[in-house]
Amino acid sequence: MHIQPQFAELKYSNKIWAVGSIHSHFDSFNSIKEHILKHFVYGDKLVFLGNIIGFGKYSTETLSSVINMRNYLLSKFFLKTQDIVFLRGAQEEMFLKLLQLQTAPNPKDIIQWMFEHGVDKTADSYGFNKEEIINISTQGTLSISRWTAKLNKIIDIFPGHKEYFSNLHHAAFSDTKKILFVNRGVDISRPLSAQSDCFWWGYQNFSKLNKPYYTFTKIVRGYEPLLSNSLDHTKNKVICSLFKAPLTDNKVMAGLFNDSGEILDLFESN
């Protein structure tokens, strides 16, 4: 399989940790973080399945905690940068669109839609008021460009944040091609190289998948929009969903897998 830049291949991966959607639940993530740091060993890999930001009040704090965790693991275990992977979720996709709002054909409508889906919380975490942004979205391309430039400068203040948004992958997989990591889903009628944006927006038939997707016998995703998930629900299925519905539940879920797709451990935040 030819490796495209948007995909991350986890080479020589004995065990792979995966963290589901965090949605800025700072305390819940730090509970997961503590567990992983306690049990992480040499040779392990780590994948964040997207939606680190959004919905909760602590996007900047949560993302900074994630970045600090990454830097600590890289240093302590002499990891390569590609051993810790960040996937693009819907929240990251929408926030990146916010950073390019001046190019949108209908900025106000797009802003209102994104704010209904949690992006206003991320903007607020960087110090930008919801009403202020809606007002700017009506003032024309030049005013919007000035505002997005200001937002980009603010992001630069937070160590690692700009680099995070610039280095998000669409999917990750082990070099055995047995386990696939995505944010929300894949179009099961298409090969991985022919996917579009359903990685973070989902695909209507994905939840019904009960057989391997090409060579992948296990697909681990970080967000499931409909089902109220539990640890028991994720076991013995092709799809393992590391997400605790509904969004009002502050729980964060994570798991540990081998490179053949076997579930070694599933756990959730305190």
Q: Do residues 113 and 246 both lie within one domain?
A: no
Q: Do residues 81 and 100 both lie within one domain?
A: no
Could you read off the pLDDT of 64-85 as tens digits, one per residue?
999 999 999 999 999 999 999 9
The CA distance from 111 to 135, in Å, is 10
Q: Do residues 119 and 174 both lie within one domain?
A: no
Q: Do residues 247 and 204 both lie within one domain?
A: yes
Q: Do residues 97 and 122 both lie within one domain?
A: yes
Q: Do residues 46 and 128 both lie within one domain?
A: no
Q: Do residues 84 and 175 both lie within one domain?
A: yes
Mean predicted lDDT score pLDDT of the chain: 93
In a domain, 1, yes or no: no
Phi, psi of 42 (to 5 degrees): -60, 135
- Amino acid type, 156: D
The CA distance from 20 to 7, in Å, is 18
Strand ranges, E, within the chain: 7-10, 15-19, 45-48, 84-86, 171-174, 179-182, 218-221, 239-241, 253-258, 263-268
Asked if 216 contacts 177 with a C-beta cutoff of 8 angstroms, the reply is: yes
The CA distance from 255 to 259, in Å, is 13
Asked if 239 contacts 206 with a C-beta cutoff of 8 angstroms, the reply is: yes
Q: Do residues 174 and 264 both lie within one domain?
A: yes
The residues, any chain, with a CB within 8 Å of residue 7's CB and separated by 6 or more, are: 169, 170, 171, 172, 173, 192
Looking up residue 25, the CATH number of its domain turns out to be: 3.60.21.10
Confidence tier at 4 by pLDDT (50, 70, 90)? low
pLDDT of residue 2: 41
Cα of 226 vs its chain's centroid, Å: 18
The domain in which residue 100 lies consists of 93-161
Nearest CA among 233, 212, 213, 232 for reference residue 224: 233
Could you read off the pLDDT of 115-174 as tens digits, one per residue?
999 999 999 999 999 999 999 999 999 999 999 999 999 999 999 999 999 999 999 999
Phi, psi of 211 (to 5 degrees): -145, 160
Could you read off the pLDDT of 11-48 as tens digits, one per residue?
998 899 999 999 999 999 999 999 999 999 999 999 99
How many domains in the chain?
2
pLDDT of residue 3: 47
